[in-house]
Structure 1
Amino acid sequence: MNRLRHDGPLIIGGGLAGLSAALEAGPRPTLVVTPAPLLQACSSAWAQGGVAAALSAQDDPALHAADTAAAGAGLVDEATARALTADGRATVEWLAALGAPFDRDVDGGFAVSLEAAHSKARVARVGGDGAGRAILSALVASVRAAPHVEVWENGRLRALVQDATGRVRGAVIERDGRLTEVLAPAVVLATGGAGGLFARTTTPVALLGEGMALAWLAGAEVLDPEFVQFHPTAIDVGLDPMPLATEALRGEGSRLIDAEGRFLLGDEPDADLKARDIVARAVHGARAEGRGAYLDARTAVGAHFPTEFPAVFAACMRAGLDPRETPIPVAPGAHYHMGGIAAGRDGHTSLPGLFAVGECAATGVHGANRLASNSLLEAAAFGRRTGRAAAAETGVDGKVLKAALTPDLSPEALTALRVTMSDNVGVVRDADGLTRALALMERLEQAARGALPVLAARLIAGAALDRRESRGGHYRADYPGTDAAPRHTRLRRDSGAGLSEIMAAE
């Protein structure tokens, strides 16, 4: 195995979080490793809604923080939420200065839209529903022009390198079939979420929670892995991954109906703008009852669809569906992982030398249910903080331990895992289904011991089985009530508690 010593942050991931960290890490030399070419296979580029921030005269960061805490169902770290929302305007202005072409109002300010569970219109958008790709494109251009940043595309994270004290000292990267041990004073995991573990997902299918699994194997704390957000309006046209119909469509007045045209959540004009877990269960229930679920935008958007929501319109038309004339068939799809590697707002994890940011991290800002469009804000705002913190780390000398590589799953095994996750660890869960899922994972583990997707799935399903209540994105049909005292799940490989240590919320 080749060895490279790098005197600066090693960032794994080329989405919004990783690239924001890379830009702010300067002038320290920064190496970014991404498993696919930049702008490909990362959720940031697929985001449709935009960046949530208090940008209007009628809004303020404290109100945004309160909405964030309310959506998170008792598990939001409120100090972290306040820090995030206080960074809102500065983060949007930083992205705009890099070239992100946010929509503007007639006075030149940021145009903002309303999304579910926000008390004010505060989502800054680009081209209606093209925020993610446009914002990330601006960062990619800046990163390619930054003299302190080197990018390794098509580089796959295979292992973390540690020393005898447990400090993370680098990572093993595979490129073109060759392995390189990269030693660095700081490793930043910005590896994205775990949506690809589910057969029905709106995220790139390559996102399998492997960063979280590797961090757990190294001894880092994992926080609340059971909390997965299912977007209620994934377009159900038989594609994998499922195209997304942005929540902004409902913000503009589109309605969820069944096959008979009846409203799924009630007649009130804002009935479809409840928190995502509530809407997702309504869509799931209507489909389970055989009534079907559809998003009707014919009146609210109609002829303006091609210009106001071009990405959704194109996805529908490619599937032979004209949303100006026909309601869009929808189903819940795995969309965002609230849980992940426990990390502070500056990316520090429980392991020295290891940072985590973006969807693979759990900072406590999302709690049990992410508020719409807070993810891009967190990725950029906390990405910047993490880049600065990682750049402050200095080199460490001494011997490192040999890193152990894990096996890959066969395509057939991965398909079986994804199906069981959607069927048994999805929108509605119960003990029987979760037990079936864990039994399959045990069989898969025997065939490919240490496979990272199986470990990530076990962290999610095992914590879901242990949480005998319903809260936020985690709904147990056999435990539909919510406990009076909110509790976090905290998992560590070296805790002696396996996958079942639940701690009271601070």
Structure 2
Amino acid sequence: MQTDFLVIGSGIAGLTFALKAAKKYPDQKVTVITKTAADETNTKYAQGGIAGVTDFERDSFDKHIEDTLIAGDGLCNKAVVEIVVKEGVDRIQELIEWGAQFDKEADGDYKLGKEGGHGEFRILHHKDVTGKEIERAMLEAVAAHPNIEIIKHCFVLDLITQHHLGYLVTKSTPDIDCYGVYVLNLKTNEIETILAGTTLLATGGNGQVYRSTTNPNIATGDGVAMVYRAKGRIENMEFIQFHPTALYEPGVRGQSFLITEAVRGDGGILRNKKGEAFMERYDERKDLAPRDIVARAIDSEMKITGTEHVYLDVRHIPLEKFVEHFPNIYEKCKSIGIDVTKDMIPVAPAAHYSCGGIKTNEWARTSIRNLYAAGECASTGLHGANRLASNSLLEAMVFAHRAFLDCTQQRRSVNDFPPVPEWNATGTTDPKEMILITQSLKEVQQVMSDYVGIVRTNVRLQRAQKRLDLLWEETELLYQATTVSPQLCELRNMITASYLIVKGAQFRKESRGLHYNTDYPAKSRLVQNIVL
């Protein structure tokens, strides 16, 4: 198969790029690949909203920039922050033009929310299901372009580079080139080759490497792992953001229900087992401190009291207001017997967002030619050591737009490519025991949760590295001898993403932002990115 534009991932980043390419080149083919349904993305599960300066009487670009820099704890690229904040306003307007509906006041002005780390009300939202509304609008917009094809249930195995043509490719190889991808068609169970003039990775995050995460099951670090195998540059993977308030449900593993930060923006108060409002002991901003501070505070309270959760108190918020703003959260709590007018909501931190990823420049270019990255899989320099709430959707649109602008300046045809071989599955057989894969998956999640969580130590990181090394050896042997499956490939990708998180954490000899190591409690004078 050949296509002019290949987009891997159907969230806000991937669909933004696809819509722009399809509009400018109506006679060319835009192909979007997703490994499950088109709307099953990290975007869909974004509750809080999208940050942007729309009320210039009370807010300003400078204020948004300053809030982002403070949250990023010294590691943000200021030039990139300015790009995202200033260009983001136009991208939000495009989103509205594509049909996304954000909540409005009675006079027609947009209702603006406030979340941790923000000094002003600037979050546009749609109830507490903003991401779902954005995904709906964008998929409807995509349907209006006949030159966009969405291929569902298609798992990308690897990027095609000179390595597959028989050349030795290393980290120091100049001009590594991307020709497309190998994919496993889950409907036919056949491995296919897709060649593309331009490829955009918009594969989302890697939250599933942890036992408890707000991410859907598809968030297995596929894009990061593929680029690392292709000898591309990865950076700052140690900065994993744990959302402070995921709903605590005893015995529930995997995806946790998110209680958006906007609940605290509307007045929700965190309390410990004793009913004490504890955040004032940790930060003067109390419940609206940046996420890294709130997550560590909750972790500390849980350890002090010996409990597995704390509470979010919304009993003082008028029920009508709560239901209007957070209908999805209200119904979820009600379904498990929590009356928010009488009961506090049990919450605990869960892996939420990866601030690092595939290293890109300000035009979303990766270190591999003709390969771009946008969204959570990319490390653009915006987030630094900690993401400011609701900046992610904004970043995804800005860099998808910039990737589109850049790639139009250097178009190329697949007809100019050297011959690309078919996928080689010689010598492999079907797996005899799925337990080898499922048990290794549980081990990865346990190792990462126990040793590479909110608070880390050198000993824990060393243990994690040794266990991951063993899991990698076992999985590679299985991969070389076994017919590929999504389960095996996701396991392989998760081990790679986990390894990169651990190595980044080991190299960072300080505590900064989301990376807190008790062996290095202070920040280093040397501020740098950890590139792997």
Partner of residue 5 from structure 1, selected from 2, 18, 42: 2
2:49 is matched with 50
Which residue matches 1:162? 161
Match for residue 123 of structure 1? 123
Aligned-residue CA RMSD (Å):
1.9
Q: How far apart in 1 are the matches of 2:424 and 2:258?
A: 38
For 2:419, the equivalent position in structure 1 comes to 399
Q: What's the counterpart of residue 217 of structure 1?
A: 229
SS in 2 for 1:300: coil
1:371 corresponding residue in structure 2:
388
- TM-score (norm: length of structure 2): 0.88
Q: Which residue of 2 aligns with 1:35?
A: 35
The answer to whether the Cα contact below 8 Å between 2:35 and 2:154 also exists between their aligned partners in 1 is: yes
Match of 1:494 in 2: none
Partner of 2:204: 192
Aligned to 1:280, the other structure's residue is in SS state helix
Give CA-to-partner distance per residue, 1:332-360, whole Å, 9 cap, x none.
Answer: 10000000000123321111011111000
AA at the equivalent of 2:516: Y
Whole-angstrom CA distance in 1 between matches of 2:419 and 2:445: 39
Q: Deviation string for 1:60-86 (max 9, x for gaps)?
A: 122211211111011111111101000
How many angstroms apart in 2 are the aligned matches of 1:208 and 1:389? Answer: 28
1:414-444 deviations in Å (ceiling 9; x for gaps): 1110111111111001111111111111111
Q: Distance in 2 between matches of 1:357 and 1:130?
A: 22
1:222 shift after superposition: 0.5
**Following superposition of structure 1 onto structure 2, how do residues 40-189 of structure 1 map, counting pairs within 5 Å?**
40=40, 42-56=41-55, 57-127=57-127, 129-163=128-162, 164=167, 166-175=176-185, 176=187, 177-189=189-201
Taking structure 1 as reference, are residues 82 and 404 closer, same or farther at Cα in structure 2, changes over 3 Å only? farther
1:402 shift after superposition: 6.3
Q: Residues of 2 paired with 1:318 and 1:485: CA distance? A: 50
Q: In 2, Cα distance between the equivalents of 1:216 and 1:422?
A: 23
1:418 and 2:445 matched = yes
* Residue matched to 1:433: 460
The aligned counterpart of 1:500 is none
Query: Shift of residue 59 of structure 1?
Result: 1.1
Q: CA shift at 1:245, angstroms?
A: 0.6
What residue identity is the alignment partner of 1:74? Answer: G
Alpha-carbon deviation of 1:391? 4.6
Local SS of the residue matching 2:219? coil
Give the counterpart letter for 2:243 in structure 1. H
Instruction: Determine the C-alpha separation between the residues in 1 that align with 2:104 and 2:323.
Output: 19
Q: Which amino acid aligns with 1:278?
A: I
Deviation at 1:270, TM superposition (A): 4.3
Q: How many residues align?
A: 485
Asked whether the equivalents of residues 315 and 344 of structure 2 are also in contact (C-alpha less than 8 Å), the reply is: yes
For residues 156-211 of structure 1, what are the alpha-carbon distances to aligned partners after superposition, in whole Å with 9 as ceiling and x for unaligned? 11111113562010001111211110011111110000101100111112211121
The whole-number CA distance in structure 1 between the counterparts of 2:348 and 2:235 is 28
Matched, 1:277 2:283: no
21, 28, 45: which one pairs with 1:25? 21
CA contact (8 A) 1:39 1:136 kept: yes
Instruction: Provide the residue aligned with 2:242 in structure 1.
Output: 230
Q: Confirm or deny that 1:297 pairs with 2:314.
A: yes
Asked whether the equivalents of residues 440 and 471 of structure 2 are also in contact (C-alpha less than 8 Å), the reply is yes
Q: Deviations over 1:443-491 (max 9, x none)?
A: 1112111722111110001111221211011110121111123111011
Residue 361 (structure 2) aligns with: 344
**Residues 105, 345 of structure 1: CA spacing in aligned structure 2 closer, same or farther, 3 A cutoff?**
farther
Alpha-carbon distance in 1 for matches of 2:191, 2:236: 32
User: CA separation of 1:404/1:214 partners in 2, compared to 1, >3 Å: closer, same or farther?
Assistant: farther
- Percent of residue pairs identical: 34
User: What is the CA distance between 1:107 and its match in structure 2?
Assistant: 3.3
The correspondence for 2:259, drawn from 245, 265, 271, is 245
One-letter identity of the residue aligned with 2:474: A
Greater CA drift, 289-298 or 465-474: 289-298
2:325 and 2:176 mapped to 1: Cα distance?
51
One-letter code aligned to 1:319: I
TM-score (norm 1): 0.92
Q: Structure 1 residues 297, 104: CA separation in 2 closer, same or farther (over 3 Å shift)?
A: same
Equivalent pair of 2:84/2:398 in contact (CA under 8 Å): yes
Using the alignment, how far apart are the partners of 1:344 and 1:62 within structure 2?
A: 22
Change over 3 Å in CA distance of 1:365–1:470 after alignment to 2: same
Shift of 1:381: 2.0
Contact 1:76/1:368 (<8 A) preserved: yes
SS in 2 for 1:443: helix
From 459, 462, 486, the equivalent of 2:500 is 459
Secondary structure (helix, strand or coil) at the match of 2:398 reads helix
Structure 2: unaligned runs, 5 residues or longer: 168-174, 480-491
Instruction: Identify the match of residue 516 of structure 2 among 475, 486, 490.
Output: 475
Q: For 2:149 and 2:88, how far apart are their aligned partners in 1?
A: 28
Counterparts of 2:460 and 2:424, CA distance in 1? 32
> For residue 287 of structure 1, what is the aligned residue in structure 2?
302
Residues 349 and 401 of structure 1, relative CA distance in 2, 3 Å threshold: farther
8 Å CA contact retained: 1:202, 1:335: yes
Q: CA deviation at 1:108?
A: 2.0
Give the Å deviation of 1:306: 2.3
The answer to whether the Cα contact below 8 Å between 2:48 and 2:125 also exists between their aligned partners in 1 is yes
Q: 1:45 to 1:404 in 2, by over 3 A?
A: farther
Aligned mates of 1:385, 1:476 — CA distance in 2: 36
Q: What's the CA shift string for 1:356-410, capped at 9, x where partnerless?
A: 1100000000111000000011112222222333355312422346667899970
Q: Which amino acid aligns with 2:137?
A: A
Separation (CA, whole Å) in 2 of partners of 1:77 and 1:401: 40
Deviations 1:194-253 (A, max 9, x none): 101100111112211121011011111101111110000011113331101110111111
Compare 158-167 and 216-225 and name the one that shifted more. 158-167
Q: Any conservation in 2 of the 1:24–1:388 contact (CA below 8 Å)?
A: no
